Chain A
Amino acid sequence: MPLKWRWVLIISVTLLASYLCFPLQEKIKLGLDLKGGIHLVMRVKTDDAVKASTDLDAETLRTELVKRGVTPQKLESAGVGRISVQGVDSAKASDFRDLVSSQFSAYSVSSKGGGDYELEMKPARVREIRESSLRQALETIRNRVDKFGVAEPVIQQVGFAGGGDERILVQLPGIQNTERVKELIGSPAYLEWKLVSIPPGHRVEDFRTLAPASRESLLSLFGGTLPADTELYPAELQQAGELLYWPCKKASPITGNDLRDARRDVGRLGDAVVNFRLTADAGQRFEDLTRANEGQLLAILLDKKVISAPRINAVIRDSGVIEGSFTVETAEDLAIKLRSGALPAGMELLEERTVGPSLGSDSIRKGIVASVMGAALVVIFMLVYYRLSGLNAIIALGLNILLLLGAMGYLKATLTLPGIAGIALTIGMAVDANVLIFERIREELRLGKTVKAAVASGFTKAFSTIVDSHVTTLIAALFLFGYGTGPVRGFAVTLCIGIIANLYTNIFVSHALFDTYLSSRRVDHLSI
């Protein structure tokens, strides 16, 4: 390629890289470890969702069987994706099989002999449930974070879905209140209204002074056994670390799914409450419920815990308040969660990293100092050792870093703390190829070649060495990219781009600089 065109290319690439990376503050994205914020990795316990679906199917199966006159001795959901049916009358065995194969085709049946069967959910269906609950969880968390108001949040799936190890990554820059955030995005927020069961012989008013109470005292109030439709639910408020309970009906006539809106509000006593509005359909049900049970207690449960159990004083249609021991923040967060919908499954926290902004900016400052020091040392060394040719290497080095930053800006790559180390390392490695070429040129000069011939053959002969050594380095850097997440990946990115940019600056730019220098004058002695 003629020298003129080479320069056109070099200048265009340089301008493009400058355009892509300046101003640095805008174009180069900083990782959470540098700008501060919260990084969470959570596992969605999709087993929960599969189990819930199995429970539901077991119930349906029971009703359907009863309709057909099949009454097994025992029918229960036996863990994740399994329903065990015991003691099916042998005369009804074909009815049972027919029903399962027609209406429960998501299960495969195996006979255990003696009228016992086991239904197992097919893998395809299990995967479908896991994937859909992951999608729903992502959607819900995204909703909650949006309503919480965070700039540039990252909420995404990591790894593979469908295998029971569904993971979600959440990154919230600039947020430090970890406990609040974890509570906000990690809690299922499943809301239910349940009528409180009043023990026989007690009036509502008396009972209100007794409950919530310990398990034992409640059982004794009910005469030893709870009614079939009643269960004990823990109260959110504990007394001296002791769990207290409310006896509530198992059925939940209204749940969080029936909400149309929820807002934080100020209650009658100036306390924080959450205001809710129901959908039209649920409003009708709520009206019926409250009319039929005026004067009774209606418990409000969040994630199976009773947060309050007010008395129904009047018929309520489609709106009301939730009282509880809220602060302004917890009421606000509950309203956000209720508006965003419940999570389909519990979450397990796998990783949490919180970096304060002061630590991040410390690290940036130190990283820059170290990189500049390293660069200065390299520059001095190259000038001392290779004189004027060292200047050539330094121009190539500067361009190398510019290209690295430009590529990072273009790829929207994130600069992390190890990434800064990657840049410092790139500075050190950038002159490697220069050293290889310069040493080769010196060798050729020693053989008595003219300057022009020595430079030409120096570049030619060093070429394959440089390519080989860069490719092997790149192989390791690519594995590093595949291995790492977050900060480590940031390191791999700077390293990979640095290596590729280095090939261009050393073989192409450095060569053009030499050729330009040699073409314009007669050079007898090369300063190298």
Chain B
Amino acid sequence: MKQFHLLTNTNLDIMGKKLFFIGISAVAVSASLFALFTRGLNWGVDFRGGTEVRVRFLNDPTVEQVRKDLEALGIGEVDLQRIGKPEDHELLIRIGQGRQTQSEGGLIGSSDVSQKVLAALATPEDRNLAAAGKIDLNQASAGSLEALLATRIEAAKQAGTLPAGSQVEARASAEAVIAARDAAGGLFRSLEEVQRIPTLPPAVQTILKDSTFIGQTSARSVEYVGPSAGRDLIRKATWAVIGSNVFILLYIWVRFRFIWGIAGVVALFHDVIIAMGALALTQKEFTLPVVAALLTIVGYSIADTVVVLDRIRENLRIYRTQDFERVVNASINQTFSRTILTQFTVMLCTTALYLYGGDRMDALSFTLLVGFAAGAYSSVFVASPILVLHQRWWNERRRRKA
């Protein structure tokens, strides 16, 4: 059986065009830095502070209307973004830090903003229903639904419409309703959907029909981060990136040579800067998982560089008399196929994650995708040319001294 080959026995003169390849990187890094300084990162709630509410709507919302409704609240800067599949009718509503509010309970900085947001998005009909004492099944918690059912069941028994001895469980019914709502994606579309829940006793169905309604919105998630958290996180993230680079540098120094470690770390900064530049360009949200992605790029991209360095070291032992530049070139060619193949398998998984992982993984997988691509390039075309350039400078200096 023949072997399947791709890019084996390549004999590319990479070192001969090293300035060209470094030039491409320099352009990409400059463009990234330019994007970072001009457009800036789209800081997520983790870093910027404020409130982020993910709302699912019954009917497709118009962004302008929602914006108008929310700005009327005077809760600060409002930023809206459609999210998920179009048929999901979901908006990510981001609200700036705004004023510090003291909630009733004395929990300072508490954001009752999400409640205000949902209240502001209610239609006039819904508001009337709520004012009439009905509760919104799309927003009710299991506890409040249970309380409602318990009082109404009790009242029905008093009034004689329900036999005094009949067993109607308020808690079990409330939980069944909430479970059905979760299964329906967090939002009932109509009361009929509720009436179809098989485990609900008829008495409960009557109560639900009389005292509840199907509201327009439901909050799928709420995140609030206080104003002080962001700075702390940025500082810690910076230290984590620098710290991991320092230790990687030390490890490569111990196992190889100091200057090789420098070359590896330069390649890493190259990858991280390009990934961040892509984030600035696409304005994808910069969140905590994105920081995790950046550190993963650091860890993974260096692995590829190490594979090349390892081969250079091995070849230097074998071909002692050969010119350094030629040894490096040969090493790159010998490891070229595996650099491409290992990156390719990881990119397969990252692409699957990007395409099918859902919007909560979007920024994370996008960062990985860009960073891994930059990492594959830098292992071959950035780190190794730096070694060669350094060696040449070193030889030059030695010759001049002699």
In the complex, the answer to whether B147 meets A362 with C-beta atoms within 8 Å is no
Question: Quick one: which of A177, A182, A346, A356 contacts B143, CB cutoff 8 A?
Answer: A177
Residues of B within 8 A of A352 (CB): 110-111, 222-225
In the complex, the answer to whether A348 meets B109 with C-beta atoms within 8 Å is yes
Tell me, yes or no, whether A24 is within 8 Å of chain B by CB: no
Within the complex, what minimum Cβ distance (angstroms) separates A515 from chain B?
A: 21
Residues of B within 8 A of A359 (CB): 54, 186, 220-221, 360
In the complex, the answer to whether B244 meets A475 with C-beta atoms within 8 Å is yes
In the complex, the answer to whether A418 meets B105 with C-beta atoms within 8 Å is no
CA distance A311 to B211 in the complex (A): 37
Question: Quick one: which of B8, B114, B115, B361 contacts A370, CB cutoff 8 A?
Answer: B361
Interface centre among B141, B185, B248, B356, by most chain A C-beta atoms within 10 angstroms, is B356
Question: Quick one: which of A370, A473, A482, A495 contacts B355, CB cutoff 8 A?
Answer: A370
Closest residue of A by beta carbon distance from B112: A179
In the complex, the answer to whether A183 meets B186 with C-beta atoms within 8 Å is no
Closest residue of A by beta carbon distance from B9: A446
Interface residues on A, range: 35 or more
Tell me, yes or no, whether B353 is within 8 Å of chain A by CB: yes
Tell me, yes or no, whether B316 is within 8 Å of chain A by CB: no
Question: Quick one: which of B108, B239, B337, B349 contacts A425, CB cutoff 8 A?
Answer: B349
In the complex, the answer to whether A182 meets B103 with C-beta atoms within 8 Å is yes
Interface pick from A206-214, A221-229, A378-386 = A378-386
Contact flag A366-B357 (CB < 8 Å), given A374-B348, A473-B303, A484-B288:
yes
Do most interface residues of chain B lie in helix, strand or loop, or is the interface mixed? helix
Question: Quick one: which of B112, B220, B225, B349 contacts A424, CB cutoff 8 A?
Answer: B349
Interface pick from A191-199, A286-294, A429-437 = A429-437
Tell me, yes or no, whether B321 is within 8 Å of chain A by CB: no
Residues of A within 8 A of B8 (CB): 442
Residues of A within 8 A of B302 (CB): 469, 472-473, 476
Residues of B within 8 A of A182 (CB): 103, 105, 107, 110
Within the complex, what minimum Cβ distance (angstroms) separates A425 from chain B?
A: 6
In the complex, the answer to whether B226 meets A350 with C-beta atoms within 8 Å is yes
In the complex, the answer to whether B108 meets A347 with C-beta atoms within 8 Å is yes
CA distance A385 to B342 in the complex (A): 12
Within the complex, what minimum Cβ distance (angstroms) separates B117 from chain A?
A: 13
In the complex, the answer to whether B240 meets A482 with C-beta atoms within 8 Å is yes
Tell me, yes or no, whether B393 is within 8 Å of chain A by CB: no
In the complex, the answer to whether B306 meets A527 with C-beta atoms within 8 Å is no
In the complex, the answer to whether B181 meets A358 with C-beta atoms within 8 Å is yes
Contact flag A469-B358 (CB < 8 Å), given A182-B103, A351-B226:
no
Closest residue of B by beta carbon distance from A475: B247
Question: Quick one: which of B300, B307, B344 contacts A381, CB cutoff 8 A?
Answer: B344
Tell me, yes or no, whether A470 is within 8 Å of chain B by CB: yes
Q: Mark B111-142, 1 if CB is under 8 A from A, else 0.
A: 11011000000000000000000000000011
Closest residue of B by beta carbon distance from A445: B3
Question: Quick one: which of B228, B303, B342 contacts A472, CB cutoff 8 A?
Answer: B303
In the complex, the answer to whether A429 meets B300 with C-beta atoms within 8 Å is yes
Tell me, yes or no, whether A363 is within 8 Å of chain B by CB: yes
Tell me, yes or no, whether B1 is within 8 Å of chain A by CB: yes
Residues of B within 8 A of A356 (CB): 182, 186, 218-221
Closest residue of A by beta carbon distance from B222: A354
- 7 further interface pairs, Cβ-Cβ under 8 Å (given A370-B361, A421-B357, A473-B299): A183-B103, A188-B106, A346-B106, A349-B108, A350-B228, A363-B358, A428-B349
3 A-B pairs closest in CB distance: A476-B299, A186-B107, A428-B349
11 A-B interface contacts by CB (under 8 A): A177-B144, A186-B103, A352-B222, A353-B221, A353-B223, A355-B221, A418-B361, A418-B364, A424-B352, A442-B3, A475-B244
